[in-house]
Structure 1
Amino acid sequence: MPEKVLIFSRFSKTLMARIGQRYELMDSAGKPPHEVFAPEELSKVRVLITAGGSPLGASALDSLPSLRAIICYGTGYDGVDLAAARARKISVGHSPGANAAAVADLALTLMLAVTRRLVPADAFVRDGSWAKALPSPMLRAPPGNPGRRIGVYGMGEIGRKIAARLAGFETEVGYFSRSKHEVPYRYFPTLEALAEWCSVLMIAVRASADTHHAVNAAILQKLGGDGYVINIARGSVIDQAALVAALTDNTIAGAGLDVFEKEPQAPGALTALPNVVLTPHVGGHTVEAHIAMQDCVIANLEAFFAGKPLVYPVN
């Protein structure tokens, strides 16, 4: 009889198909598990799969007294209360670097789209303005990439892949992270210094208490009127209200965002702005990235049920 695994977050059946071939999945379809399963069923759950950003706190863990492993589908694990898990002797695993290439690709896609104003350009053709030779302030010639200074906030797996890709665009790359790395890019000791230097700020840092609203009004002010911010990390890293204000009053030139403070992002002040390119948290959403993340999840599950340490633990 296959081992049972609780699916805590909402995933499509397609994403869980490979895992479902090996294990019996108790799928809560994104609802609180206690609303879907009886207490006696939940009392026997030993392992669950969750999206790293889904809130998974002490109260949820208390409803799963036999839980011994939390496996995050993806790199992130910011939704998991690590202290509560540690106190209950629950191991936490994730999929480090599995989607890094896909996320880095989207980071550059957003940068190119917003700096070259692809969304207004597309609309200019579609609505007939180009054919009518109408003027368009949004289509004035922008600065190009050769010589552009780009700052990468966070030099983990995703940050390194972003930086490596940027080299092909003849840019200068600098970075700020908690520590200096052996990489061929200029290191800045503070985020403030990086923002002062660069004209595009790429956010690739992990969400934590230390990075919450790290990109605030003061950082955006340093980025300046020709500056852009690209976020493919977590929405919590940017003070979104400050970002809306900076985009509205032209404190910065534009933004490319795949993540938001509250997801899904409802239409509002941010979505109404013409100098923003938005995507619905799809940075790691490629076939290859999902296969790699599933590989990590399956490896962690196999290790757990074999009584071994998780292959990809959260340190």
Structure 2
Amino acid sequence: MKPHDVLMPSEGMDVVADLIAGRLPLHRLWLEPDPDAWLAQWAPALRAVASNGHQFPIDPAFMRRLPHLEIVASFGVGYEHIDAKWAGEHGIVVTHTPGVLDDEVADIAMALTLMAVRRLPQAERFLRAGEWPKSSFPLTASLGGRTMGILGLGRIGKAIALRAESFGLDIVYHGRHAQPGVPYRFYPSLAEMAKACDILMVAAPGGPETRRLVDAEVLRGLGPDGVLINIARGTLVDEQALIEALRTGAILAAGLDVYENEPNVPAELIALDNAVLLPHVGSASVKTRRAMAQCVVDNLVAWSEGKPPLTPVPETPWRGSWGID
């Protein structure tokens, strides 16, 4: 096994594996007849991991099995499936793919907003079912005059804000702290921001700290004309509380691209006519997914050449060469 061999623990998009294999020796653990036995034999020689999906947690137990691990290159912006804090404490750099998918996800965020407020999927189903000759589609709510509260004003949140402003929406935001130089009003309390807006856009990272941050209290704050849009992680929203809010009319509608237990979506949510549901396609264009895959490869190649990885996560800053051969 060569010094720069890369381990991919789980299957994902073919383009990721193909691009890595074009530059570095790649081992696909899921193809091994006995992955545990293979890993027990080869783990001491492995120093790089390519994480190709959230279905395989890169936790301390797994990283301990690779005693000479130096880098985990993850496909995607979110990396809550990786214990980055532990990795950083043990000299392992974790990289992700920020920037390359911001615009694509922001476009879907605004599309979901329009779809949910104006009931566009319902209108299309109405036409396809042959109902239009019988009657007009019911009038809908309007997007104009609304305030969008953005939970998580990072790169994607800012890209959404720019688009929302062009639609004439007022913008406010909530996060861990107020950001200098941002022209939008900051709310230190999510519950208070929910009361001040009627579109709540969820764009914050996942993980234990944000789990079910959008709960029944926040949804009540949005009110009966309120709309929830989630393009971040399903874990940020209390799914049962959302189902109840939609079912009872506590909020007007929701537009979701992510769910708590993907790809399993609760039947109660699917049955609701005021929920617009997409199968996690925020960044799912050929161009963007290839750019994400290339970012994974570029980080691994930089590491293999003893150079700083391009996009390390904050918990694992690059500390220089760790004796790479």
Query: So what's the TM-score if we normalise by structure 1?
Result: 0.92
For residues 173 and 189 of structure 1, the distance between their equivalents in structure 2, rounded to whole angstroms, comes to 15
| Identity percentage of aligned residues | 37
Q: 2:109 aligns to what?
A: 107
Unaligned 5+ segments in structure 2 are 315-325
Residue type of the partner of 1:279? L
**Matches of residues 176-255 of structure 1 in structure 2 within 5 Å?**
176-181=174-179, 182-255=181-254
Q: Deviation string for 1:171-193 (max 9, x for gaps)?
A: 11111111222222222221112
Residue by residue over 1:48-70, the C-alpha shift from the partner in whole angstroms, topping out at 9 and shown as x without a partner, is: 11146342212211222221111
Work out the CA distance in 2 between the residues paired with 1:192 and 1:235. 19
- The equivalent residue for 1:57 is 59
Q: What CA distance in whole angstroms lies between the structure 2 residues aligned with 1:88 and 1:302?
A: 21
Residue in 1 that maps onto 2:148 = 150
Distance verdict in 2 for CA 1:92–1:258, change over 3 Å? same
1:36 is displaced (CA, Å) by 7.7
CA distance 1:32–1:79, shift in 2 (3 Å): farther
Given that residues 214 and 236 in structure 2 are in contact (C-alpha distance below 8 angstroms), is that contact kept between their aligned partners in structure 1?
yes
Q: What is the CA-CA distance between 1:89 and the residue it aligns to?
A: 2.1
Q: Distance in 1 between matches of 2:123 and 2:305?
A: 55
The answer to whether the Cα contact below 8 Å between 1:52 and 1:75 also exists between their aligned partners in 2 is no
Structure 2: distance between partners of 1:33 and 1:288: 35
User: CA 1:281–1:29 in structure 2 vs 1: closer, same or farther (change >3 Å)?
Assistant: farther
Give the drift of 1:226. 0.7
- CA gap of 1:253–1:309, structure 2 versus 1, over 3 A, is same
RMSD: 2.1
Gaps of 5+ in 1: none
Provide the residue aligned with 1:20 in structure 2. 21
Is 1:211–1:237's contact at 8 Å kept on the other side of the alignment?
Answer: yes
CA contact (8 A) 1:151 1:194 kept: yes
Q: How does 1:1-315 map to 2 (within 5 A)?
A: 3-29=4-30, 34-35=35-36, 37-51=38-52, 53-54=54-55, 55-133=57-135, 139-181=137-179, 182-315=181-314
Number of residue pairs aligned between Structure 1 and Structure 2: 311
Cα separation, 2, equivalents of 1:295 and 1:65: 27
Q: CA deviation at 1:153?
A: 0.7
Q: Which amino acid aligns with 2:133?
A: A
Deviation of 1:194 after TM superposition, in Å, equals: 1.2
* Partner amino acid, structure 2, of 1:39: A
Q: In structure 2, what residue type is equivalent to 1:199?
A: D
> Could you say if the C-alpha distance between residues 30 and 146 of structure 1 is closer, same or farther in structure 2, counting changes exceeding 3 Å?
farther
Distance 2:187 2:99 in 1: 24
Does the 8 A contact of 1:70 with 1:90 survive in 2?
A: yes
Q: Which has the higher contact order (CA 8 A, sep 6+)?
A: 2
1:124 is displaced (CA, Å) by: 0.7
Q: Deviations over 1:107-159 (max 9, x none)?
A: 111111111111211111111111222x7xxx432232222111111110000
Structure 1 pair 22–156 and aligned structure 2 pair: CA distance change class (3 A) = same
Residues in 2 aligned to 1:47 and 1:252: alpha-carbon distance in whole angstroms: 46
Q: Structure 1 residues 253-262 or 300-309, which shifts more?
A: 300-309
Q: Indicate the larger mover: 270-279 or 154-163.
A: 270-279
Cα deviation per residue 1:250-271 (whole Å; 9 max; x = unaligned)? 1111111111111112451111
